[in-house]
Amino acid sequence: MAIVRYDGSGFAGWQKQANARTVQGVIEEALSRLAGQPVAIQGAARTDAGVHALGQVFSCDWPGRAGLETLRHSLSRILSPSIRIEHIAQAPPRFSARHDAVGKRYAYTISLAREPDPFSARYAWRVPGTVEPARIAELAARLVGERDFAGFQCLGSDPTSTIRKIESIEILPGGVIAPRDARDLWRIEFAGSGFLYKMIRNITGTLVDIARGHLPESRIEERLASRGPYNGYTAPPHGLTLVGVQYPEDAGA
């Protein structure tokens, strides 16, 4: 298994597509080049176009002879500068990056600056108007727990169940990916068992719209009672980052 970080700005998402540049696609191309034969990988999360990652995980059967550290370095060199392999390790038999995951952590960064910052603009959603982070935290508390989140899911996927458990939502100062002197940045950190298609971006859009007075507070309960699909504002993808994936201790990740 491998841990990988990437800037999603130039990619059509994680998942391999026939006529688009994706993170999975370019990693598979690099692995196949090094192995001298086709290599397929499986990712823990299917991040959307423009979404970033600090701790995406993928697994594969590696047929090459290179040692793992040599492989990690060679991959990072080929994939630079948009993608870097942080860690590679041998996983237990039948390990699946996707199916063995028991939790994920995402962070959504918002900027409350009056003017765009050229160094953080591609990683933070600048929210015009007055938004109080404490207000977002107050509203977010209503979403913590195990619930049916069908009303926060966009069309485009058909999961077996729309019930998910959000372990926590924290509002913290600073961005996930930002320059040292960046100001007026806040991040909304989500930890949970898993998330539906565009669920985090839809929740973020709803929380921000309520916090700035564009929607009534009751919209949260309305969305939780809805069978979907989501019909509100979806926060833009460039503010979202997959921070990490959690596995059982014996999974080797």
Q: Which residues are catalytic?
A: 48
* Residue 226, both tokens: 């809805």
**3-state DSSP of the chain:** CEEEEECHHHCCCCCCECCECCHHHHHHHHHHHHHCCCCCEEECCCCCCCCEEEEEEEEECCCCCCCHHHHHHHHHHHHCCCEEEEEECCCCCCCCCCCCCCEEEEEEEEECCCCCCCCCCCCCEECCCCCCHHHHHHHHHHHCEEEECHHHCCCCCCCCCCEEEEEEEEEEECCCCCCCCCCCEEEEEEEECCCCCCHHHHHHHHHHHHHCCCCCCCHHHHHHHCCCCCCCCCCCHHHEEEEEEECCHHHCC
Q: Do strands 103-111 and 185-192 pair parallel, antiparallel, or not at all (unpaired)?
A: antiparallel
Q: What is the DSSP pairing of strand 163-173 with strand 185-192?
A: antiparallel
Q: Are the beta carbons of 2 and 87 closer than 8 angstroms?
A: yes
How many angstroms separate the CA atoms of 60 and 40, rounded?
A: 6
